[in-house]
Amino acid sequence: MDGNIENNKQWYVIHTYSGYENKVKANLEKRVDSMNMGDKIFRILVPMEDEVEIKDGKKKIIKRKVFPGYVLVEMIMTDDSWYVVRNTSGVTGFVGSGTKPIPLHESEVRLILKQMGVEEPRTKTMYRVGQNIRVISGPFENFVGIIEENHPEKGKLKVLVSMFGRETPVELEYTQIEDA
């Protein structure tokens, strides 16, 4: 750890003893509270999904851990925040190479949160018609386009993307774009 404060929060994966994911989440939330780390450690998630179980001819929906033995933590990585997480009861370590935790890619986090039904907070950035944007996920990834229509209530835009020398209208979600 080099002690540099990254200027943005990112999601990291911590490894836990199997079956202790919810206990680790509760323990870590208590530590964040008691050690005043709320400005560096934000959300702690145990990715779950609904699974239909049929028992005695009856359907029952149960929650199943998507990644048994793992917990996601949204945090700003500093020596202090690393120490708080790493030394929480039940945590065996961060996922990464050697001693350096590696954050999840933003698209991976969006996919996991979407699967869980946890919506990311609405994007604060208001896009406007005529603005240039870059597509960051989906089939048009890395294309640059111009916003033709904006539908903030749906979190969607119609964007003119230049393909093969032609302007092609494409419907995209706010989560699929960034300022160009």
Domain harbouring 159, CATH code: 2.30.30.30
Residue 125, domain member (yes or no): no
For residue range 44-90, what is the model confidence (pLDDT) as tens digits? 999 888 888 887 888 888 888 889 999 999 999 999 999 999 999 99
Distance CA 42, CA 23 (A): 17
Residue 84, domain member (yes or no): yes
Mean pLDDT of 29-41: 94
Asked if 31 and 109 sit in the same domain, the reply is: yes
Residue 78, domain member (yes or no): yes
Asked if 139 and 62 sit in the same domain, the reply is: no
List, as own/partner pairs, every contact residues 4-8 make where C-beta atoms lie below 8 angstroms and the sequence separation is at least 24, other chains included. 5/76, 5/78, 6/76, 6/77, 6/78, 8/76
Q: Is the pLDDT of residue 112 over 90?
A: no
pLDDT at 158: 92
Residue 102, domain member (yes or no): yes
pLDDT at 120: 55
Q: Is the pLDDT of residue 121 over 70?
A: no
pLDDT at 180: 79
Residue 88 maps to which CATH number? 3.30.70.940
Specify whether the CB–CB gap between 85 and 75 falls below 8 A. yes
Residue 126, domain member (yes or no): no
Both tokens of residue 67? 């990644």
Rounded to whole angstroms, what are the CA distances from 169 to 2, 12, 132, 161, 172?
46, 36, 14, 6, 10
Specify whether the CB–CB gap between 104 and 11 falls below 8 A. yes
* pTM flag (> 0.75): no
- Residue 12's closest CA among 36, 44, 37? 44
User: What are the φ and ψ backbone dihedral angles of 169, each rounded to 5 degrees?
Assistant: -75, 135
| Number of domains composing the chain | 2
Asked if 147 and 95 sit in the same domain, the reply is: no
Residue 5, domain member (yes or no): no
Three-state SS string over 69-111 comes to CEEEEEECCCHHHHHHHHCCCCEEEECEECCEECCCCHHHHHH
Asked if 69 and 23 sit in the same domain, the reply is: yes
Query: Structural domain of residue 65, as residue ranges?
Result: 10-116
Asked if 16 and 56 sit in the same domain, the reply is: yes
Specify whether the CB–CB gap between 170 and 162 falls below 8 A. no
Residue 147, domain member (yes or no): yes
